[in-house]
Amino acid sequence: MNTDVELEYYFDPFCGWCYASAPALAGLAENFSHQLKMLSSGLFVGGRPISSIAEHAWRNDQRIQALTGQPFSEAYRQNVLLAPNGIFDSGPATLALTALGEHDPRLEPRFLHAIQIARYVAGHDTSGIQEVATVAVQVAAEHGIELTTEAFGERLRSDTDLRERTLERIENTQRRMNILGIRGVPQLVALVNGKAHILSGETLYQGPAGLAAALDALRADA
């Protein structure tokens, strides 16, 4: 039933609006696990002081919570946004996505959600390699893959091949976004019988049921 559909999900691990679409993505991961392709845009890769965006981010996060119900905790505000000398960088999480995807692509949406929960709910600094490695190893273990935090963290720090593959992946994603005319994330592109249909964030924020209805409509019209 799903063989005529391919799905491309465009995101960044630190995008709050991508977190807003997490319930819809979970539905895709469950029902379209082999058709779903995760495309990280690199939007927030590269360290910057978190103090430069903290106030804006918190206002935006509160808007997301009001509109979608996705929680942003006080622990996140205090321990992440207001952390002295805190850094805002989705680079380690993006590297981890590539590394886990090489074990099993189906780990990628699971890891994305886990790293979002670690950041926005538990209030952990997911710009740091140690925290990212901890989450990645936990996600892998839940799916029968044994890794160690130490070895995985070392890969994130010093594996130049992993870094090059991740950069190439980001560049390919940005090239694809330019071709499709996509300017922001999250976005979902449904390829139905090879034809691309762009589903905006508003559709993703409706959750699994709303997204499933939109995909059913596209397939019915194909």
Count of domains forming the chain: 1
What is the domain extent for residue 206?
A: 5-221
Q: What are the mean pLDDT values of the chain's consecutive 10-residue runs (222 residues total)?
A: 80 97 96 96 96 96 96 98 97 98 97 98 98 98 97 98 98 98 95 92 92 92 80
CA distances from residue 115 to 136, 138, 139, 183, 212 in whole angstroms, order as listed: 8, 11, 10, 24, 25
Q: Cβ(186)–Cβ(21) under 8 Å?
A: yes
pLDDT at position 200 is 79
CA–CA gap between residue 14 and residue 93 (Å, rounded) = 9
pLDDT at position 220 is 87
CA distances from residue 176 to 69, 115, 125, 138, 189 in whole angstroms, order as listed: 31, 25, 30, 31, 11
Look at the pTM and tell me if it is higher than 0.85: yes
CATH number for the domain including 36?
3.40.30.10
